[in-house]
Amino acid sequence: MRPRRQFLSAGLIVVCATLTMAGGTRAPVDRAAAGPTVFDGPTVQVGEGTAHSFVTLDAAGNPTEVGMRLSEGAMYGLPATHDVAATYELDLPAEAATTVFDHTTLDWNDHGHGPSGMFDKPHFDTHFYMVDEAAVAEIDPAGPDFEAKGTRLPDLRYLPPDYIPMLGPKLVPQASPAMGVHWFDVTDGVIPGPYQFTQAFLNGTWDGDYTFMEPMVTREWLLTKPNTVRTIKQPQAYQRSGYYPTTVAVTFDDGADEYVITLGGMVLRQAS
C-alpha cells in the first residue's frame, strides 16, 4: 500500500536465468533430470544494493513459487520518501506466465503510511498484481469513475475469509492511486496503538476484481534476518485460472546474502 507513486529511473541489468547460456540462449533442459529450476527477472538498483523477481519451476515445468530477492545493500542508502513511496518495477520472468500474477512492484516507505498507528514504520510493500500494468495505471482519483470503481467489490466468495477493507465502509478515501482498495486480516490484531507492525499480508480489489496480494515488511524486522512462513487464506472460488500461492515466507539466504520474500506452495485453480 502507498499514498501515491514515484517511479525511479533505475538502470536495469538483465540477469541470466539458471541454465542460461552466454548470449541469452537457453540450453536445452531435461527437466526430469534437472529438477526444480529458478528463473530470475531483471535486476534493479535499490539503495546501495539490488532487487529482482524470480519464479521456480518443478521438473514438469509447473511453477511452485514466485518471489523477490533483495541484497543486503538494498537496506541502506534508500531514498527519502515521506508521503511519496519510491516504487521499483520488478518484472516477472516469462516463465511465470502460468501463475496468476502479471507483474510485481517493490515500494519503499521511509516514514511508513496510514492508517496512523498501524503501518507508519519504515517498511517495504511488495505487490504481486493479478491484473496488467495498464489496468493498474488507470486507477486515478482524477478519473470520473474513480468512486464507482472503488466501491464495486468482487463477490465475497472470491476473497479470502477474515479480510475487511482497511477503513471499513470508507472504501474510496483509502484507495491508493495506481493500486486500489486494501483489505487486511482482522485476526492479525491490526488495532491502532496496540498493534506492533513487523509484517502483514494484505489483499487488494478494484472495479469488482481481486487484483493483488501484498506482503508488507518493516526494514527493522528484515534486518533481524527472519525465517518465517505462514499460510495464505484461500477464497471459496477464483475469478481467473492459474497457479495461486498457498504460503508466504520471509527468509534470509546466507549463501547469497539476500532477503527473500516468497509466495509458494503453488496450486492450479480454475475460474468459476
Give the Cα separation of 153 and 123 in Å (integer).
Answer: 28
Below-70 pLDDT ranges, the chain: 1-34, 112-118, 166-174, 190-195
Please give the pLDDT value at position 165: 79
Please give the pLDDT value at position 225: 98
Please give the pLDDT value at position 166: 65
Give the Cα separation of 223 and 72 in Å (integer).
Answer: 9
Cβ proximity of 2 and 125 under 8 Å: yes
Give the Cα separation of 181 and 191 in Å (integer).
Answer: 18
Q: Spell out a b/e string for 100-120, using b for 16 or more CB atoms within 10 Å of the CB, else e.
A: bbbbbbbbbbbebbebeebbe
**β-strand pairing of 123-129 with 209-218:** antiparallel
- Mean pLDDT for all residues in the chain: 84
pLDDT tens by residue, 208-224: 999 999 999 999 999 99
Please give the pLDDT value at position 169: 52
H-helix or E-strand spanning residue 134: helix 133-137
Give the Cα separation of 103 and 83 in Å (integer).
Answer: 24
User: What grid cell was written down for 42?
Assistant: 531483471
Which residue bears the cell 518471489? 67
Please give the pLDDT value at position 1: 46
Give the Cα separation of 95 and 181 in Å (integer).
Answer: 29
Please give the pLDDT value at position 170: 54
Cβ proximity of 98 and 242 under 8 Å: yes
Concatenating the DSSP letter of every residue in 215-254 gives: EEEEHHHHTT---EEEEPP--SS-SS-EEE-SEEEEEEET
The conformation of residue 59, written as its DSSP 8-state character, comes to T
Cβ proximity of 92 and 133 under 8 Å: no
pLDDT tens by residue, 117-128: 667 788 999 999
Please give the pLDDT value at position 131: 96
